[in-house]
Structure 1
Amino acid sequence: MRYMATYDLMESARNTNQWLGATARTIASYPGMAFVPNPAIQWMAAWGEVTERTFERMVVKPDWGIRTFTCEDGKDHLVNVETVVEKPFGNLIHFNVTGREEQARKILLVAPMSGHYATLLRSTVKSLLVNCEVYITDWHNARDIPVSCGKFDIEDYTLYLVDFMRHMGPDTNVVAVCQPAPLTLAATAYLAEIDPEAQPRTLTLIGGPIDPDAAATDVTDFGARVTMGQLEETMIQRVGFKYKGVGRMVYPGLLQLASFMSMNAERHSKAFTDQIMRVTRGEASDHDAHNRFYDEYLAVMDMTAEFYLSTVERIFKNCEIAKNEFVVAGHKVDIGKITNVAVKTVEGDKDDITAPGQCIAALNLCTGLPDSKKASHVEPGAGHYGIFAGKSWRNNIRPLVLDFIDQNARPARPKVVNTANSNSAA
């Protein structure tokens, strides 16, 4: 119960701050306050507005916000977000552009399960939607999943990816972003042995910790320094009574958010101070740059305890993927069995979460793959976010990824000509 009490206490603190912000905004906005010629009143209203929005967004799943898309015919076509595979811990969804011919490139975006929702890749989806059929893994918030649905660790995650790839078929091009890169590599190798016909056409790994020991970061240092007992004691809590997953052991998204914020505390503090002053001066808007970024950044989700702990222990501490010793459902996965799936790695030169060297290690593990089917790219000056959603992605990385996909496209089957009918016709 102490873990549940801690979870509810943390939620109560968040809720209280949201209430304080709403109260301050409401009091300062009362018409009678206009008779008090004090700029502190305007600042109070601005502080309340920013504070209320900040703490409210922490428990709201963002909307994809992709409603229409302008195609080559010059018309706006509706975009329907359709669930094609539904599972307890995550769905496979498709962005279906109505009235548009099916695109030749079929891409499966594997979104990270690292504290944020899949909507973190919204801009990535929009950039690929131009000339691709885009599918994405939409992971669920663990706090909303009843205990009766069972466990979900990295092996279950890998098997989910296997099922999604099987559903989409062999013409799929998989793009894994950050955390899922090692597990996506393992899922591909698993298919190479168990169901070769279901393997994807290409696999692009973007900023993923394939070999965390290849280059140290604050993330890898933390993983090496802390013990599993310490992690379980300090990071794991039991979902409180407010949500459907009551009683489930989780790594709370609010704790993950606190970790994210602490890494750049001064920068975030300045961003919120500046936003309060912009609201005070009437220069802010509902969808300005600050709100667009933080509405997404602050929206966090809980991870199951077993997923978080197995990730730290097996991916970061034991380096099972890097050592090619990963086991899924009792089957030892051999990454060397990947022989005909083209693999590309993408890293950011300034990535402080997954430093250059960690992701490219995947190519050395693919011992059964010819060099002609391997590629790598290090983007100069790019940080972690930029390699999949920023200017570097839009201007440089996205074209390289699509070129890589096109270069490794399997040739279409030749048309079978009925020679008998053609001869008789002649």
Structure 2
Amino acid sequence: MRYMASYDLMETIRNTNQWLGASTLAMASYPAFSMFPNPAMQWMSAWGEVTERTFSRMVVKPDWNIPPFVGASGTDRMVTEEIEIKGEFGDLLHFRVQGRTEKRRKVLLVAPMSGHYATLLRSTVISLLPDCDLYITDWHNARDIPVSAGKFDIEDYTMHLVDYMRHLGSDLHVIAVCQPAPLTLAATAYLAEEDPDAQPSTLTLIGGPIDPSAAPTEVTDFGHSVTMGQLEQFMIQRVGFKYAGVGRKVYPGLLQLSSFISMNADTHKDAFMGQIQRVAQGEAHEHDKHNKFYDEYLAVMDMPAEFYLSTVDRIFKNGEIAANEFVVNGKKVDMGKITTVAVMTVEGSKDDISAPGQCIAALDLCSNVPDDQKASHVEDGAGHYGIFAGKSWRTNIRPLVLDFIDDHEARVPPAFRQKEIAKGKAAKKKQSTA
């Protein structure tokens, strides 16, 4: 499958389905048919509308669309995205809040390179913006990166994080979500030995596979059930002629999406049948629950082949991070070198991707971090998505993370501390009732 023909065949199928949807919608919406009302035409139009939207979203990067929020002064704060550091494989993106003059926690949100764009963390970004000066890793779609840009594996990813941390300074707080958690830990350890003054103040790891063998899941079982040769043969293709990355070896986004959907095929089938019915009955709208979810879920990106293969081989199969044997640019990275960075782990009790036990392993690896600078939290009833973007994140985990940041950053003004705010409110309430 490592040929452009395979890649172009998948794109042809996608493009054909998009065209069929658009054509059916146009035909069923022909004004002359309205002279003789027929429910079949409504259903054809609905099928065409949903089909066209579905297959067109697969090759479009979603916009951030960050809404304004009300600042402390009661005025709306507009948010714009600015590229802080531009790169071939990804950018360091800064969310600038217009009109903000007060100091806020400086936070780097490390997004996964796992098939979806960084916009998957949009709700996480929105929840953090009122309290944080926020940066995020915005990885590029490998299909758009020329072969001349070279390779990009997990060592390159790690060094990108090292560069970002150095750039942002030691008053930084890093939050890594899911897949990049082990590499973010490795980047922090690299800085601890090579450039201690550039280490972040705190490191929060959310649902990441630090030690995949600690709590096996379908993801870890798959990694051990196939050989690297099988993965390369059946998962890797070369980008077709339509894109700038023509000839680059990738794990295609469309192939990843087919795997995602096959895991819960019946659920997705029911969701799309229900949406077609709602469109036919005039009950659907542009920003309804279905479109909001699938516009993001279906927007997939190609992953560099060397990054995907090295992740499976070195993180899941060989467990280099878990064994503290990870090597970057020929240099062994020792997690025990981390001594001054406060480390927190967050897991969900119902996480079926990075099960409880995989992420908390980071605390044992950071053997020289004092116990009073370590913290862990397992969110009861939360799945993988919920621990960084759902209700559990908003109501329980986010306040805990901000408190952890404040507890280990002396430079954060007390007025920003969540615990101090809560104490202040309680004191005022007590005074008013006295």
TM-score class, shorter-chain normalisation, is over 0.9
Residue 62 of structure 2 is aligned to residue 65 of structure 1: no
CA contact 2:238–2:249 (8 Å) conserved in 1: yes
Partner residue of 1:93?
A: 93
Q: Normalized against structure 2, the TM-score is what? A: 0.94
Residue 132 of structure 1 is matched in structure 2 by 132
Residue type matched to 2:370 in 1? Answer: P
Match of 2:52 in 1: 52
TM-score (norm 1): 0.95
Q: Which amino acid aligns with 1:97?
A: V
Q: How does 1:259-274 map to 2 (within 5 A)?
A: 259-274=259-274
Residues in 1 aligned to 2:175 and 2:274: alpha-carbon distance in whole angstroms: 36
- The offset of 1:71, in angstroms, is 1.0
Aligned to 1:109, the other structure's residue is in SS state strand
1:378 is the counterpart of 2:385 = no
Counterpart secondary structure, 1:59: coil
- Do the aligned partners of residues 406 and 21 (structure 1) sit closer, same or farther apart at CA in structure 2, a change above 3 Å counting? same
One-letter identity of the residue aligned with 1:192: A
Deviation at 1:410, TM superposition (A): 3.0
Q: 1:68 offset after TM fit, Å?
A: 2.5
Shift of 1:34: 1.6
Query: Where does residue 188 of structure 2 map in the other structure?
Result: 188
Match of 2:239 in 1: 239
Distance 2:196 2:249 in 1: 36
Partner of 1:402: 402
The one-letter code matched in structure 2 to 1:365 is L
What is the CA–CA distance in structure 2 between the aligned matches of 1:131 and 1:367, rounded to whole Å? 31
Q: For the Cα contact (< 8 Å) 2:115–2:300, is it kept in 1?
A: yes
Aligned-residue offset at 1:38: 2.4
d(CA) in 1 for partners of 2:123 and 2:411? Answer: 30
User: Conserved in 2, the CA contact under 8 Å of 1:112 and 1:179?
Assistant: yes
Q: Partner amino acid for 1:39?
A: P
Question: Are 1:30 and 2:26 an aligned pair?
Answer: no
> 1:84 and 2:76 equivalent?
no
Unaligned runs of 5+ in 2: 414-434
Where do residues 164-313 of structure 1 align in structure 2 (5 Å cutoff)?
Answer: 164-313=164-313
In the aligned structure 1, how far is the partner of 2:54 from the partner of 2:69? 30
What secondary structure is seen at the aligned counterpart in 2 of 1:345? strand
**Distance between the aligned counterparts of 1:107 and 1:140, measured in 2?**
21
2:67 and 2:286 mapped to 1: Cα distance? 19
> Aligned pairs, how many?
413
| 2:356 aligned partner | 356
Q: How far apart are 1:35 and its partner, in Å?
A: 2.9
Task: Compute the RMSD of aligned alpha carbons.
Answer: 1.2
Deviation string 1:276-318 (CA, Å, 9 cap, x unpaired) is 1000110000011110110001000001000000000000000
Aligned sequence identity (%) = 74
- Name the amino acid aligned to 2:299: A
SS of 2:175's partner is strand
Residues 108 and 175, structure 2, Cα contact 8 Å, conserved in 1: yes
* Structure 1 residue 72, shift from structure 2 partner: 1.6
CA contact (8 A) 1:201 1:410 kept: no
- The one-letter code matched in structure 2 to 1:37 is P
Query: Which residue is equivalent to 1:325?
Result: 325
Structure-1 separation of matches of 2:103 and 2:360: 29
Q: Which amino acid aligns with 1:96?
A: R
Q: Is the 8 A contact 1:253 1:303 kept in 2?
A: yes
Amino acid at match of 1:354: S
